[in-house]
Amino acid sequence: MSPLLPLPVTAADRDSCAATDILRRVGEKWSVLILALLAERPYGFNELDRTVEPVSRRILTRTLRTLEADGLISRSETPERVRYALTPLGRSLLPLIVALGEWAAEHADEIGAARA
Amino acid sequence: MSPLLPLPVTAADRDSCAATDILRRVGEKWSVLILALLAERPYGFNELDRTVEPVSRRILTRTLRTLEADGLISRSETPERVRYALTPLGRSLLPLIVALGEWAAEHADEIGAARA
DNA sequence: CAGCATCCTGCGCGATACTG
DNA sequence: CAGTATCGCGCAGGATGCTG
């Protein structure tokens, strides 16, 4: 066993697998989108709310809190507004997400064909 | 807008984003693990069931069907057994998952520290 | 502007039992 | 061996209204 990576095969591992963990995190509905937006510049809360569009404020809040708790984004208050920004850790994750996005774009037709 | 990628910002895009789509797919609980196992060699159904361990057969079945529908794995029947294997498409996705796994392993302590 | 409180729905995931 | 059928739980995600 023990494949190419720190991947969990036994029951004992299954909750402690870093790869699965982070994959589930970025698999959450709005995470990647938020990270991609913050890659360009910091955003305020309502600004994110408007830009991400059909997300509810409840979910946006929770997603931001989670990303913050993981150290991927930072939240700072200024007198005028709250400011969400990427942390260095979050920024280091970007290339991988970008690569996955490119892979998905390249093979979108193959996947579409397979589904039909 | 329109960040670094084909990422969905508007409501119209949100269900058609290939990147988010594939991320949710591999974010499913057992997907990466199954892909990682099949990266080494083909597996039979019960063989997967035993190896992945705490997964229920119902979920294993559904996960396999989904991965198959996306063209990432193939299912073929021989007289003695059913054989699940990676497709070329699935294999082309592996390096990206490996990269994410390595990233997660490298930064596991930072993430852990952030959560505390 | 930046949220929190409340209520609700769908489905990811699981346990258990049964089938050809 | 390779599944299907049935039942159930918890949580992601959402709608709506209120707050300082």
Taking 60 as the threshold, does the pLDDT of residue B20 lie above it?
yes
pLDDT band of B16, cuts 50, 70, 90: low
pLDDT bin (cut points 50, 70, 90) of residue A14 is very low
Contacts of A2 in chain B (CB under 8 A): none
What is the residue whose two structure tokens read 């290939």?
Answer: B18
Scan for tokens 């699965």, then name that residue.
Answer: A20
- The spacing between the Cα labelled CA in B59 and the C1' in D7, in angstroms, equals 15
Distances (CA, A) of B84 to A22, B13, B40, B53, B58: 26, 33, 12, 17, 16
Predicted confidence band of residue B5 (pLDDT cuts 50, 70, 90): low
Q: With respect to residue A4, please indicate whether it lies within any of the assigned structural domains.
A: no
Domain that holds residue A55: 11-115
CB A114 within 8 A of CB B70: yes
Q: Is residue A96 part of a domain?
A: yes
pLDDT number for residue B53 = 81
Q: Are the C-beta atoms of residues B30 and B59 closer than 8 Å to each other? A: yes
* pTM of this structure: 0.87
Please indicate, yes or no, if residue A77 is contained in any of the structural domains: yes
Q: How far apart are CA A76 and CA A82, in angstroms?
A: 6
Query: In the complex, which nucleotide's C1' lies nearest to the CA atom of residue A64?
Result: C3
CA angle B64, A108, A29 (to 5 degrees): 70
Given a cut of 90, whether residue B11 has pLDDT beyond it is no
pLDDT in tens, B26-62: 999 999 999 999 999 999 999 999 999 889 999 999 9
Q: What is the CATH number of the domain that holds A65?
A: 1.10.10.10
Residue A5 in domain: no
DSSP A80: S
Residue B109 has pLDDT above 90, yes or no: no
Predicted local confidence at residue A5, as pLDDT: 52
A1 domain-assigned: no
Q: CA nearest B110 in A: which residue?
A: A71
Give the distance, in angstroms, between residue B30 CA and nucleotide D14 C1': 26
Q: What percent of chain A has pLDDT over 70?
A: 85
What is the band of A22 on the pLDDT scale with cuts at 50, 70, 90? confident
Length of chain A: 116
Would you call A9 and B51 a contact, using CB atoms and an 8 Å cutoff?
A: yes
CA distance A15 to A8: 8
Whether residue A97 is contained in a domain is answered as yes
- What's the pLDDT tens digit per position in A60-88? 999 999 999 999 999 999 999 999 999 99
**pLDDT tens figures, B59-75:** 999 999 999 999 999 99
Domain assignment present for A62:
yes
Give me the pLDDT at residue A1, please.
43
Structural domain includes residue B4: no
Please give the tally of structural domains in chain A: 1
Give chain B's length.
Answer: 116
